[in-house]
Amino acid sequence: MLATASTFLSGSANATTIQIAEGTGTVEVYLANGTQITSTTLDSTGTAMSNNMAFRIGTFTGGFNPTISNYTSWFSNFVGVNGFVAVGGTSAGRLSASITAGDGNLINAPVTANVGVGANGSAGINQNALLYAIVWNTKYTANGSIPNSGGGNSFDPTNSTLQAAILQNSSWTMPFSQSLDLSTLAYSLSSGTTALVGSVDLVNKGITLQAVPEPSTGALMMIGAVGLVALRRLRKV
């Protein structure tokens, strides 16, 4: 049975709320090696995860198709808001993030880059845009707060210890929003939820992260390709 969860971000007094949430005791997150993430697990910056880890919901823009290979560009092509997955404390197992949107589908406190802070100004998510949920092994910092150097909901694509998962569901779509619509649209890890990166077990509500490629992999592949071209030229001489 799907659990319900309360709204994470209160938003403005006049706004539509769109949330992806699961209740306390529901969700478990695992590293790629199968180790469950808890409050004492070191995050990608080497800091204890504490009670909450990074989670973000929103949409990819410009037709961007996220894969593990293009992870360095995920958040350059993403508009959304921060949320959290509780991995310790009395709320362990809770997953929660909420978008609040007013007229013109403009959203409150948007996050539009690798840094973990809410952007100044506004950004919009088009009506009917597919929403995605991204979770990664970094300690959570509240949306709109300035994170510590290298930490707190920031996504550091140069970090070789970074692991992540991207979830989607065809039912997770952005509604038409307006300031006079005070309704809440609640989504969850329901049937049909799949993982573009990592994996998800809907029976046990388990999310397993996937390790990003080593930063040097692309460079090594390029060096190898150049070497092959040079070898072929030598053989022709």
- Cα–Cα distances (Å) from 151 to 44, 51, 55, 141, 212, in that order, read 8, 14, 13, 8, 17
| Residue 102 belongs to some domain of the structure | yes
Compute how many other C-beta atoms are within 10 angstroms of the C-beta atom of residue 77: 16
Q: Which residue has the higher pLDDT, 195 or 11?
A: 195
Q: Distance between the two ends of the chain, CA-based, in angstroms?
A: 70
Q: Which residue has the higher pLDDT, 3 or 171?
A: 171
Work out the average pLDDT over 102-109.
Answer: 86
| Residue 11 belongs to some domain of the structure | no
Per-residue pLDDT band at 119 (split at 50, 70, 90): low
Beta-ladder partners of 167: 133, 195
How much is the pLDDT for 153?
A: 72
How much is the pLDDT for 155?
A: 87
| Residue 98 belongs to some domain of the structure | yes
- Cα–Cα distances (Å) from 198 to 29, 67, 145, 157, in that order, read 11, 10, 28, 16
Q: Which range marks the domain in which residue 62 is found?
A: 16-236
Determine phi and psi for 88, rounding to 5 degrees: -165, 175
| Residue percentage of the chain with pLDDT more than 90 | 56
- pLDDT tens for residues 183-223? 899 999 999 999 999 999 999 999 999 999 976 554 445 43
Q: Is 104 left (phi over 0), alpha (psi -120 to 50) or beta?
A: left
| Residue 182 belongs to some domain of the structure | yes
Work out the average pLDDT over 114-118.
Answer: 66
Quote the CA–CA distance of 94 and 91 in Å, as a whole number: 6
The mean predicted confidence, pLDDT, of the chain is 81
Quote the CA–CA distance of 209 and 77 in Å, as a whole number: 21
| Residue 7 belongs to some domain of the structure | no
- pLDDT tens for residues 37-67? 999 999 988 889 999 999 999 999 999 999 9
How much is the pLDDT for 2?
A: 29
1-5, 18-22, 221-225 — which one is most confidently predicted on average?
A: 18-22
Beta-ladder partners of 30: 36, 208
Instruction: Average the pLDDT over each of 4-13, 30-39, 90-99 and give the range with the smallest value.
Output: 4-13
Quote the CA–CA distance of 207 and 198 in Å, as a whole number: 8
| Residue 105 belongs to some domain of the structure | yes
| Residue 3 belongs to some domain of the structure | no
3-state helix, strand, coil in the chain (%, to 5): 15, 35, 55
Domain count, the chain: 1
Report the candidate in 152, 160, 135 with the shortest Cα–Cα distance to residue 213. Answer: 160
| Residue 20 belongs to some domain of the structure | yes
What type of residue is 33? N
Compute how many other C-beta atoms are within 10 angstroms of the C-beta atom of residue 180: 10
Quote the CA–CA distance of 235 and 220 in Å, as a whole number: 22
Q: What is the pTM of this model?
A: 0.81
